[in-house]
A and B are shown apart, each in its own frame.
Chain A
Amino acid sequence: MQMFINALATAAILAPAAVAFTLIFTLFRYANFAAGGFVTVGAFAAWTLNAPLGLPLWAGGVGAMGVCAGAVALSDRVVFRPLRGRSGGTLLLVSIALSFVIENIIRFGFGAQVKGFDLPLTGPLVFAGLRVPKETLFVIAVSLVATLAVGALLSFTPIGRALRAVADNPSLANVRGLPVPGVEAFGVIVAGALFGLSGTLVGVDLAIDPNLNWAIAIPVIAAAIVGGLGSPLGAAIGAVVIGLAEELTAAHFTPTYKGAVGFVVIALVLLLRPQGLLGIKVDRK
């Protein structure tokens, strides 16, 4: 049971980013490996607002979401939009290069020293033999609210419906009068905000440093793939699955192979059930 709580905590950090990843995939049909880079940007943005500038953490978080939204929008405009229509492999390659560039820009600006939020470290709440760290509750709560909010947005609002229509078939949506560029921009901003949120939550949990890029990218992508690309709810569930997989590996196998878990899961899912848990079967080149 303790393991489940721990898995939930990990999942809560990964979920927003996984949802963002799947959003971008659905809208633009490519896997954006720079997810890791954007989450790192979020972490550093939140830190900059929190530690040197002294703002409270929630303000840092909101700021991080804004910065990330901007970053994703900028990169979409400058890097990805001119390459729309190219093969998924090319776009993935570009996104890997981009994540590399982002990581090093952060290293250039902030140095490689480890950083942390200005937060007091406290012990856990203990009940029924379970230990629940206070931050974990906070992280899970925030993540849950965010994921539900985005899910509701996509399912129940007009803009959400428009997003799904554009994702499904952009030319048809265009013909029907939907403002495709506007909808895409909206999607990009939501994705960016989610990356920023994940970045802030990561900062609560781990040391903030440029190497976060690689550490985060794989579990996030794994979560999205397991859940099924195209389904935000799936991405959230996928995050829980990945969290559990990592916990189980570390507890019963050996912690040193935890890093491989994400990859193994991705491979298994892609081979056995490519559409993931809740995804739609997509014809890919």
Chain B
Amino acid sequence: MDAYLVAILTIAGIYVILALALNLQFGLTGLVNFGVVGFFGLGAYASGIATESFHAPFIGGLAVAMATGALAGAALALLCLRLSGDFLAIVTLGFAETVRLIFNNEDWLTGGPKGLLIMTRPVLADFGRTANAWMVLGVVLTGAVLTLALMLRLAGTPYGRVLRAIREDELVPATLGKNVFVYRLQSFVIGSMLMAAAGSLYAHYVQTITPDNFTTPVAILVWMSVIVGGPGNMLGAVVGALAVVTIYEGSRFLTPWLGFLDAEQVSALRFIVIGTALILVIRFRPEGLLPEPRHTPVVPATRRPALKG
């Protein structure tokens, strides 16, 4: 059972990083980014190609992944950040799909549909499977904790306040002299860079990546983490990611009770439940499990003599 839990925690850690990154982009800044898996995949392939074809160590792969993510994020943002919410979503979705098609078609670079085999692992030395698994878990959890710390920092500082202000009504911070576009750009690029980093960790963990790993259902799971956990609340994103992974994995154990359905139906049912849950949360509890901490200014009490004597 141990090894199974280690595996689940590792995946959860990666989803936490993805959720935190998306939370920065959407939760704080209001950018509807559906290109999550595009950056995730770019990071994975960039890191894989760096370590396999160019013999870089894992850290090198991670760095290349983050650079690729940042560059792609910047390029995409420059192109379409000015678009309104739903159009931005469609264009970013298109980005993710196009990137996936590139992965699938350009065999010479990515191995195409057969996938890329990655032997490099973020471990110090090969101490055997179980030890390796724990080491990888350690690396992923470190990444998750660092990301969380960074995000909390960003959210709590004046920087975070500006992002939130932009999310609510960009006219106000603009009037105050803030360059709205640059803030949005920064938020988007930092987010995409982190998603790419998650991709790198993912690639070196699963060791075989194919274009099929980076499809829209994954994006839906990440979005669900953010929405369910609480958009705007970083701890909420962590809780949301853990909740989503638990639901996904936990539903495997319910299969024996659903014996009257065939396996295909159980699988479809799981996705139905996830999609419906997302809609229900948006409808009935849009602030998520952990609502955004409200930063209300302290109003000094006014002293007025009581009217009634």
Contact = CB atoms under 8 A, between A and B. Distances in A.
> Are chains A and B touching in the complex at the 8 Å CB cutoff?
yes
Contact of A105 (B80, B89, B220, B268): B268
Interface residues of A, number: 43
A117 B212 CA distance: 30
A93 B272 CA distance: 15
A96 B278 CA distance: 10
Most chain A CB within 10 A, of B34, B88, B97, B282, is at B282
Contacts of A31: 86-87, 89-90
Contact of B94 (A82, A88, A267): A267
A79 B279 contact: yes
B164 to A, nearest CB: 15
Given A104-B271, A266-B91, A92 B79 contact: no
B86 to A, nearest CB: 4
Interface stretch (B7-15, B98-106, B114-122): B98-106
B85 A285 contact: yes
B247 interface: no
A256 interface: yes
A98 to B, nearest CB: 6
Contacts of A256: 101, 104-105
B32 interface: yes
B220 A270 contact: no
Given A83-B283, A88-B86, A221-B90, A260 B97 contact: yes
Nearest to B99: A260
A100 B105 contact: no
A107 B264 contact: yes
Contact of B95 (A33, A88, A263): A263
B223 A266 contact: no
Contact of A101 (B275, B282, B286): B275
A96 to B, nearest CB: 7
B265 interface: yes
Interface in A251-285: 254, 256-257, 259-260, 262-264, 266-267, 270-271, 274, 284-285
A97 B278 contact: yes
A260 B101 contact: yes
B80 A88 contact: no
A266 B278 contact: no
Interface string B254-294: 00000000001100110110111011001100100000000
Contacts of B87: 31, 270, 274, 284
Interface residues of B, number: 41
A88 B272 CA distance: 23
B282 A90 contact: yes
B282 A93 contact: yes
Contact of B98 (A93, A98, A260): A260
A267 B276 contact: no
Contact of A284 (B84, B91, B93, B279): B84
Contacts of B283: 79, 82-83
A270 to B, nearest CB: 5
Nearest to A30: B86
Interface string A3-31: 00000000000000000000000000011
Contacts of B274: 100
B217 interface: yes
Nearest to A100: B275
A90 B34 CA distance: 12
21 contacts: A79-B279, A79-B283, A87-B85, A89-B32, A90-B85, A93-B227, A93-B278, A94-B279, A97-B220, A98-B275, A254-B105, A256-B105, A259-B97, A263-B97, A263-B98, A267-B79, A267-B80, A267-B91, A270-B80, A284-B85, A285-B84
Interface of B: 30, 32, 34, 79-80, 83-91, 93-95, 97-98, 101, 104-105, 216-217, 220, 223, 227, 264-265, 268-269, 271-272, 274-276, 278-279, 282-283, 286
